[in-house]
Structure 1
Amino acid sequence: MSFPIAISPIIAPVVNKHWQAFCAHCVEDPSGFSPDILSDPSNSSFLQQLANTWAGSDFAAEQCIKHPELVYQWLSTPDLLSRFDPELHHIQLSEIVADIHSEAELMKALRLYRNREMVRIIWRDLNRTASLQQTTADLSAMADACVDQALHWLYRDCCKGFGTPMGSDPGQEPEPQQMVILGMGKHGAHELNLSSDIDLIFTYPHKGETVGGRRSFDNQEFFTRLGQRLIKVIDSKTADGFVFRVDMRLRPYGSSGALAMSFSAMEQYYQDQGRDWERYAMIKARPVAGDVSAGEQLLQTLKPFTFRRYIDFGAITALRDMKKLIQREVKRKGMETNIKLGHGGIREIEFIAQSFQLIHGGRDRSLQRKALLDVLDVLRTSDYLPEQACLELRDAYIYLRDLEHAIQALKDQQTQNLPDFEEPQNRVAYSMGHPDWVTLIKVLDEHKARVVHHFDHVIADPDEQDDDQPTPSESWKMLWDGELSVDDEISLLETKGFSDVKTVHNRLLALRDGKAITRVRRQSRERLDTFIPILMEQVLTTEAPDVCLLRLVPLVESVLRRTAYLVLLMENPAALDHLCRLCTASPWIAEQITRHPALLDEFLNVGNLYNPPKQAELADELRQQLAHIPEDDLESQMEVLRHFKMAHVLRVAAAQTAGTLPLMKESDYLTWIAEVLLEQVVDIAWRNLIERHGRPANRDGDPCNPGFIVIGYGKLGGIELGPGSDLDLVFVHDGADNKETDGERPLDSGTFFTRLGQRIIHILTTQTTSGSLYEADMRLRPSGSSGLLVSSIAAFEKYQLNDAWIWEHQALVRARAVAGDKHLTARFETLRKKILCQSRDKASLQKEVSDMRIKMREHLGSSKNDADGNPLFHLKHDKGGIVDIEFLMQYAVLAYSHDHPGITRYTDNIRISESLEHSNIISHEQGKQLREAYKFLRKASHSRAFLNERSFIKPDLVEPFRSQVGNLWQEWME
């Protein structure tokens, strides 16, 4: 009896065999199903899918033959085959388990459910009505539901005999304890294949004892017995098969460890004894059954073990060892046909992704994903790997996993080996959409070759020669090892292209023969000996090898006891190349990295180095980094804030040096950095104070969050921060007068906000190992240094309207709220406009502004001559410089805003000049000249700062800008 529709000759023999068995069983089946129902021509599409399923899976065919009602059920209700709702597994199994009264019934019900659902999943996978992600998610959800439902039934049964396990935190009332089951590996990542083991770890929150049983057991014994029963229910093979094979070897101490451990024991183990491969495994850990919320809390506690806060150089060596182990295993006989463990297989793709997760995941939370395809997307979008590499790895992974499913579906066997015989080969090729086995192997080999290429380039061993990289000259090694005479050393330096040979030679000798190098460990010395010849080759590719080497030697000296940084550079030639080029161009960059070598992390992702994020992205990144730190650990919070600033200012410097960041975007970036830092500083200081003293009252007397804002003046307010700028700040609040906070140690409102301001300044200015965050200048507050540190909004308004000097109103032109309460920010903006729009006598205003400018020149002016004795121009303070432009804009706003209130809107000089032009206060030509002059002067100022040089340049370099500014000054102010 042949199958009712025409099918491919490749699969016809096996499908016809299964069809005959199916028809025979239907005759014997008491339900009386007839195969004739299927033969209707309208069912041809269904029959084709049935043929595809039976061609690809003897297991599915056997289940259909054994339970023909499944076929008719799917025929009559096709939605059952098209659905994808992982949550249904829990719903369906909970209904099934509710009517079970014995462990034997539980085992049978789970196996029947598993077999039925496996046929459905295989059907969808082989007919490509489900994506790879849907198939693996479906399988993983089924595993979750089977384990969870079995656990709950067994837990209740164990409690009847042994009592209920109880436990608590110190000082708390005991509560019933639930088991937490962590799914590891593919299970944890929602990536189970058609015949996966499930790797589990059993744990529970607290130690304690059972209550209510025939006798008391400690919690560990209770949960061990529960775990043993669960493994039997899930793993044992009966006449109905098994549910899932269970592997417990990933638990602490492996097979010799306790089957179930308390949270505290787990934390202690990973803190004291956790190994690198266990970090690798914990990346995919997920609570899959039991008390899932408690499991999430446990994983949060263990996260610092898995993901280091800063780049984890220590993981590099461990990863390289893992990679070598993989490479050795691949060479073993029989591995070439294994699509998981063989060269170019699934495991190598997983290693690539998880290597980046282990090294960078602590700082880049976007890498803390469990699913491999999600990680590859992050590696692509964040430029950790080239887009083409990520796409090739993604395509290869999907192909290999589909092929893995096709192999496993045949017999429901746990294997990743390609079949040896013609019939299964033809069936697998058919399931994969290929005309024959030869075509499949050709496509497979192409994918594997791409994987091998990318695998070989991840965590490359510097001792292994790379055909794409030049071999460091043997002569540099001889020089560094002291095998050359002094004359030969100098001759080598000259021949290679160094100019100041004497200085370079002396500096190298000071490093090579200095006392510091004799105190380093043997491993550090070996790394240094490997690194120096590589460095010598690399500096020769820069425009000024002498400058580059002399700026990088201090960095080498600073990391002699932390030579993992050198490993990073050896393993990442692109990072070393960018480091050399940027340090050649900018002494500021060289000094910053020497002082803070952790900044080398930024060179590992060159794409980020030159692509500034948006302000919202900056804020989110900082929040994520601080989320790892306990709220009461101020020291660690301050270190995170400082590293964040240094890393992003380094990016600004790199982009400025490379010429990829226009001036306005450069200032925007620097200003955004300050703003997101201030927001977090205010938040940290606020939480710290209310924890101690409670919340202050608002003006209605209710405890809540009263308004508090940080007002930025000067360059911060004008969105024009430069490298190294101070922050001109004023603090304003809107709390109630004469009211106390609602905490155990109450403070009156004024004292509370004063302490809030003091704490903010403390966080900003304290010198830590990473330096200070910013210098804060508070002299622009009402009454200057003699005034209150924090003013109420009412007092600020009164002062500005009645007592402020003209120069304070000038400063207000460039003021804006940069952190704090949005409602108070809106009030401040209204007040600022009101103050600036007051009517003023232009003649007296002109005199006061001009007099103030003269005083500034007398107090702040400086002079300097070049080597020939000719005077130099100071970009900021000399006539026609930056300050003159700022004063002109401030004067114009104060003089004309009464009649043109729109010119008060902006705080930056560029847009102020544009608004003056639109209001016909200055001509288009004047506005254009001012803007060009201002951009040129500020760009020059920024460039000098990154070169660690003062703001002097030759006067002829600023013409005609200087004259144009001077002409407008003379027209308006003189």
Structure 2
Amino acid sequence: MSDGRLSTAAGQLARLGFRDVERSTAALERIGPHADVLMHLGSVAADPDQAAWYLADLADRVDERDAMLEAVASDEGTAMRLLGVLGASSALGDHLLRHPEHWRDLTDPTLGSTRPAAFHVRGRMLEAVGADPADETPVATLPDGEAVDVLRVQYRRLLLRLAARDLSHDVGVDDVAAELSDLAAATLEAALAIARARMGEAAESVRLAVVAMGKCGGHELNYVSDVDVIFVAEPAEGHDEVAALRAGTQLASHLMRICSDHTGEGTIWPVDAALRPEGKAGPLVRTLASHQGYYGRWAKTWEFQALLKARPVAGDLALGREYVEIVSPMVWTAAEREGFVTDVQSMRRRVIEHIPAAHADRQLKLGAGGLRDVEFAVQLLQMVHGRADVDVRWPTTLSALAHLTRGGYVGREDGAALDESYRFLRALEHRMQLAQLRRTHVVPTDEHALRCLGRAMGLRKDPADELERQWKRHKREVRRLHEKLFYRPLLAAVAKLPGDEVRLSPEAAQTRLAALGYEDPVAAMRHLEALTAGVSRTASIQRTLLPAMLEWFAESPNPDAGLLGFRRISDALGSTHWYLKTLRDEGQVAQRLATVLASSRFGTDLLQRAPEGVRMLGEDDGLVPLTREALDKEMDAAARRHDDPVEAITALRAIRRRELFRIAVADLVEDLDVADIGYALSDITSATLDAALTVATSAIEAERRAPLPTRMAIIAMGRFGGAELGFGSDADVMFVHDPLEGASSQEASRAAHEVVQELRRLLALPGTDPELAVDADLRPEGRSGPLVRTIESYAGYYAKWSAVWEAQALLRADPSIGDPDLRRRFRELIDPLRFPAQGIATDDVREVQRIKARVDAERLPRGADPATHLKLGRGGLADVEWTVQLLQMQHAGRVEGLRTTRTLDALEAAVEAELIGLADAQSLAAAWRMASGLRNAIVQVRGKGSDQLPRDTRERAAVAHIRGYAPGQSDKLVDDYLRVTRRARQVVERVFWG
């Protein structure tokens, strides 16, 4: 260029990276004789157009404009720094337009080679507000309003110098973060000096230390971030504690406002004291003794994790060092505290839950493969191994990673890869935030923004696409290493692994396993050794699988059981061609398997009886319960393939076992509704009994060498009849038969009795599949009555002897198995009894209430807690079901919807008929659902049923986990149950007893 006119074509500008050629041409024309040189120098900026525009505007505002442009054009270092800042940060460009004289800071030739010392930065900040850096408690002398503005201007001025070094002189990301942290510390010191000036003599009554936490404390601050702090106060000599705490609180409050308030010069950043004891609910300032008492008694694991980075940065530094010396020993024993594992799991979930759904795949910080994955893994390794190894106690992530690698806790290649990826992600974070000095962690999708970001990262060829490619590569690497770092070294402790792997000592490996929640680390080591030893293909695949499996086990309630179960399943199936290949190639199968093994003794027992059930975990719709029709068809076919009744019943029980496993897994991983579980389990039981009745009938006919002289049906009763079975439920039934025409009644009864006995014998045979317990105690006259009756006998009994409680029991009777015509006739027989046209009489209502009162008084097991007994406790299943059943007996004669065996359906019908309010019905339904769900969860955890919420803390935590509660929330489960059942009990008091 010469004489203000372009000497090059617009095409040359485009080749140099300019996009808005017309506007940039105008800006370069304004620059004048030096435009050619500056155009070429500016072409390496992140956004050359932006650099040209800001430079032209800046030149117009600078005194001695031509001299400034001459100086920039004649010194390549100055030009690169100035244009680099203008092209990468509109926020700093705006700062230069407001304070054009600051461009001279970028002429300093030492910027490219010298990082300013922390004391130098502190001195410049204090001098700017008129405070003497040599004073122990410096006080600002500038007028208050002026001091606050000057603080902002000086902060931006020093930030400008740092950004210029960062963008133009290839400064390491760790050095940039450390310098940002030094600048923040100096800013806090200067703000404290202004706060002291505001308070005058009152400030002299307190020694106040400002302890940096988080990234500032770890010397790894971002360009834009909250600065996390904790305030510690002690009385100055001659002053009492009350006055000191009052003054310290005022000083701290002033400091926070001075930094965060918006003025004509903008703001700096928020000072966040939420990491203090008790968080925002706790006092802003505490004494040393108060801090020590809190951390010694009340602090959670995450609070000790935060203290890893505690560093005194302003105020009384000696007091701050005392604070760190007090809390540091607690940090390095936190891994031994009760609840460490659940706290760690909670922290991990908290990170995931804070990811905004709309930006999850673009999140640089919280997303999978983001900065948090690195930081969390490093900090967790520090907390586990830092007690025994002081060399890993570094507050800065990269330094800690280097020492973990040097100490053998992270493999050398893995450590180097993680270091590289973390540096890339932090550099990308810096460039994103520098653009507008805004706190952001969402990688943009706009092509222009990505292009500028890529160029700011030093990428010149296809910068937007190359940035995406590199970012995704580092994301994948971080996620892979995050999963591997904590778990893979455990394998190296027990097996010879190829390549550069961590060599943990057995003791260190056991420490790590204990931190993961394994109660028997020694046994866990034995299982790992058995699974991974040797050079076989099986051992090789296990070594690939186990890092992820161990992590999934650790996220579940019982990692010991998970690992033991995995070893047993692998012992049974490891030699098959499909087992390990399926787990390796289909991640969902492996994760589901880990969930079952470490959460459910019930599911694990089913799987160990038939390990090939693993296949189901990967099938399309593999966890969708089969319909009754499909079950009937499959069981009938299975029974027909065997002439021997024992073999036939074994085949039926195997199908039942498989379907129980299907539903148990669906309950664990698909969040299957508790009502749907009841329907599915009832269908399985009905299909099994239907097929078993056919097998038993055939067996008796073969023995008699004659067709059966009667037709038979089975009546489902209780929860079975209501299609509300749980995992631990027996099958309550009644047996009915109807002699064929011309058959002897006595002979027909004898034959029917033989069939029933054969049915029960076959189903109770010992075997690898779970027994189906058939309970006929709800029949007329109970255990003293005939096991099986004719339909005429039932009719005669009900006509003459039936009591109201038997009518109530028949509310759940479902003739669902056996001869269809006999089932229809039985239903026609009992409907008038259970659904009387005029409803039950007042005396019968009182009788139902009397029986319920007796049940409440006598049936609750000795020692059971009536508040948490799921069946007979206050607001539990019995309360809800008796209330619904009373409504049915009173009103089903005229309300057709009440003629159902299902509790929830009857409740819905009662609402539609306006027999009960919607809110009351919802309270009853919520209690019924919660109690039923907890019953199922207890069976999952224990492998057997119980109606009492577990008192054992580990069992209760496992039940809470299955019911969807986060680690450490088992008390919340109990609180929720008590609240739900209390509301239900209030409804029962009004509707049933009132």
Q: What interval of TM-score do these two structures reach, taking the shorter chain for normalisation?
A: 0.3 to 0.5
TM-score (norm 1): 0.45
TM-score by length of 2: 0.44
Structure with higher Rg: it is: 2
